[in-house]
Amino acid sequence: MGQHVFDEAIALQRTQGDEQGSRWQGATHPAYWNMVGPFGGYSAALMLQAVLDDPLRQGTPVSLTLTYAAPIREGEFTVVTQRVSATRSTQHWSIQLLQGDAVVVNAIALLAVRRPVWRANEYVMPTVPAADAVPRHTRGPDSVAWVHRYAFHPVRGGFDALERRERHDDSTTEQWVRDEPPRALDFASLTSICDVFFPRIFLPRGGFVPAGTVSLTIHYHADEAALASAGSQHLLAVARGGNYSGGFFDQEGKIWAPDGTLLAATQQMVWYKE
Amino acid sequence: MGQHVFDEAIALQRTQGDEQGSRWQGATHPAYWNMVGPFGGYSAALMLQAVLDDPLRQGTPVSLTLTYAAPIREGEFTVVTQRVSATRSTQHWSIQLLQGDAVVVNAIALLAVRRPVWRANEYVMPTVPAADAVPRHTRGPDSVAWVHRYAFHPVRGGFDALERRERHDDSTTEQWVRDEPPRALDFASLTSICDVFFPRIFLPRGGFVPAGTVSLTIHYHADEAALASAGSQHLLAVARGGNYSGGFFDQEGKIWAPDGTLLAATQQMVWYKE
């Protein structure tokens, strides 16, 4: 079996490195293309993967925040990973994606060694039918490339409402999602899945509005065992919008394994035009 | 009337600057001291204020994320503000707080020019009694310094439950809060108020547990007009915890003006010991 297209798309070449960090070369991939640049989840994933592949790396991700300055142009880019601080159990990283001299994505990440301690969850996973009990959403051939890289089974809200151009005061959507073709979950693919939600503003406005993520934060709750247990199963992705004002709104999402384990929580600020 | 102690505490001296950014000198202030370092809201506020005072600055904050590598030691520190990217309407900043050569806080921020466009809010401000209808929480003289810099009027959950050492499955607290003495709200003080919530884990565990914020994100919804309108009134601060596992948990908060305007939403990842 060949390499999964996701691994091909996020592959980076380490061209330089020392005890402060590394430089990496990569290139955009048509399979994860969005409208005017790559899918934002893809760029978040490859920037995290650069840290995970850095020889200095210890621990697993606790948080990642990216701000997107401009669309990544088709072609080559450089990623710079810099370990700015470290303790026995945590690492603080700065990560930048550059094209030419321009910083296109600016990011920081926190990695840490997790420990088996007291656990609890105040969030409640929605009670929903299993993925295979819900029809898969069919995408038209004219859809942007990246949406074909995921299998979506919408449970509540979402695509149908959009197609009917209904306005919804509550922008909550619940959907099962996994990589297409299936791929065992890792931190990179979980990162990408944290950005599969279309801009919430489409729902209260009842259709397409020019909008784009400007800031994305992911809080990781999964450890390696939780990723392994989720494997290539569908994950429940729940999203809702918040406050829309001044040309920016926030939206938040949660990614659940089918067994009820929370894998990640994510928040965005999204630019919108009108 | 003299300078407010908050302004005194976050004051920085610009020692260097060019078209990339600036270096600033500052020092910790006893009035905002926590247990083993300054209150995290204070360090977030002064790092944002450095960007706001940078001659390169355009626009107002949309998002700020900080990761805390170590407690800031008592005494002097350096803040480095770097404008890494800019468009006509947005600016992307990296901000670091250093002591000696060590990066103690690593941060990024996004600023933008806000525009009067369509607005809506899916969040609902809790219906609560007015601040002056609720008794002010009295702090003992042995409390850490920074808590005396705020007036708290708890509405739901919080201090009393902690004092009774009750365990709560729902860690939601609602409280009115303002600077003490009163001070007209600005982006720096709003930033600081985003961190006034004690670690949520105290509520499900029914008491003190070693815990500290490692990553803090703030999404700003207020523009200058909303800040001016809030003035020195009490703000409603609502917080709840999320998922506790592997030694890290998330908590989120919202800061509301009394007129129902959402001023900021914030999320943290918090380290806990046991």
Tell me the C-alpha distance between B248 and B68, whole Å: 14
How far CA A40 is from CA of A17, A135, A147, B81, in Å, comes to 26, 26, 12, 26
What does the pLDDT average to over A141-145?
A: 85
Distance from the Cα of A273 to chain B's closest Cα (Å) equals 8
Residue B167's pLDDT is 85
Please, which pLDDT band fits residue A166 given cuts at 50, 70 and 90?
confident
Q: DSSP class of residue B38?
A: B
Residue of A nearest to B241 (CA): A122
Rounded to the nearest integer, the mean pLDDT of chain B is 95
Cα A108 to Cα A83: distance, rounded to the nearest angstrom: 10
Q: How many CB atoms lie within 10 A of CB A145?
A: 15
- Chain B interface includes A125 (CB < 8 A): no
- Nearest CB to A247: which of B114, B204, B250? B114
pLDDT tens for each residue of B99-111: 999 999 999 999 9
Range A57-71 average pLDDT: 97
Rounded Cα–Cα distance for residues A175 and B40 (Å)? 37
Option in B87, B102, B246 nearest A114 (CB) = B246
Residue numbers of A between 145 and 164 with CB closer than 8 Å to B:
none
Rounded mean pLDDT, B70-75: 96
- In the Cβ-directed half-sphere of B172, how many Cα atoms lie within 13 Å? 10
Window 12-31 of B: residues touching A by CB (8 A cutoff) are none
Q: How many other C-beta atoms lie within 10 A of the C-beta of residue B14?
A: 15
Q: Is A245 on the interface with B (CB under 8 A)?
A: yes
Q: How many CB atoms lie within 10 A of CB B20?
A: 11
Chain A interface includes B55 (CB < 8 A): no
Q: Choose, out of A219, A238, A254, A256, the residue to mutate when testing the contact with B (most B CBs < 10 Å).
A: A219
Residue written as token pair 């930033």: B191
Going by pLDDT thresholds of 50, 70 and 90, the confidence category of residue B218 is very high
C-beta atoms surrounding B209 within 10 Å: 16
| C-alpha distance from A5 to closest chain B C-alpha (Å) | 31
Q: Is B90 on the interface with A (CB under 8 A)?
A: yes
| Cross-chain residue pair A246–B115, CB shorter than 8 Å | yes
ipTM above 0.95, yes or no: yes
pLDDT given at position B164: 76
Residue A51 falls in which region: left (phi positive, over 0), alpha (psi -120 to 50) or beta: alpha
Is A263:A221 a contact under the CB 8 Å cutoff? yes
Residues B80-129: pLDDT tens digits? 999 999 998 999 999 999 999 999 999 999 999 999 999 999 999 999 99
Residue of B81, B90, B98, B108 for testing the chain A interface, max A β-carbons within 10 Å: B108
Is A65 in contact with B273 (Cβ distance < 8 A)? Answer: no
Q: Which of A93, A123, A248 to substitute to test the interface with B, most B CBs within 10 Å?
A: A248
Q: What confidence score (pLDDT) does residue A1 get?
A: 59
In angstroms, the CA B243 to CA B250 distance is: 6
Positive or negative: CA dihedral B34, B272, B108, A22: positive
Is any Cβ of chain A less than 8 angstroms from the Cβ of B267? yes
CB contact under 8 A, A122 and B250: no
Give the confidence band of A33 by pLDDT, cuts at 50, 70, 90: very high
- pTM comes to 0.97
Q: Do B87 and A106 touch (CB under 8 A)?
A: no
- Residues B56 and A266: their CA atoms lie apart, in Å, by 30
Q: Using an 8 Å Cβ cutoff, are B270 and B201 in contact?
A: yes
Contacts of A171 in chain B (CB under 8 A): 122
B104 to chain A: which residues are within 8 Å by CB?
Answer: 85
| Per-position DSSP letters for A138-189, written without gaps between them | PPPTTS-GGGGGEEEEEEESSHHHHHTT---S---EEEEEEESS-----HHH
Cβ separation of B246 and A116 shorter than 8 Å?
yes
Q: Which residues of B touch A243 (CB under 8 A)?
A: 120-123, 221, 262, 265
- Tell me the per-residue pLDDT of A87-132, one tens digit each, with 9 for 90 and over: 989 999 999 999 999 999 999 999 999 999 999 999 999 999 999 9
CA distance B188 to B180: 15
Question: How confident is the model at residue B1, as a pLDDT?
Answer: 59
Q: Which residues of B touch A123 (CB under 8 A)?
A: 242-243
User: By the CB < 8 Å criterion, does B221 face chain A?
Assistant: yes
* pLDDT beyond 80 at A193: yes
Contact with chain B for residue A208, Cβ under 8 A: no
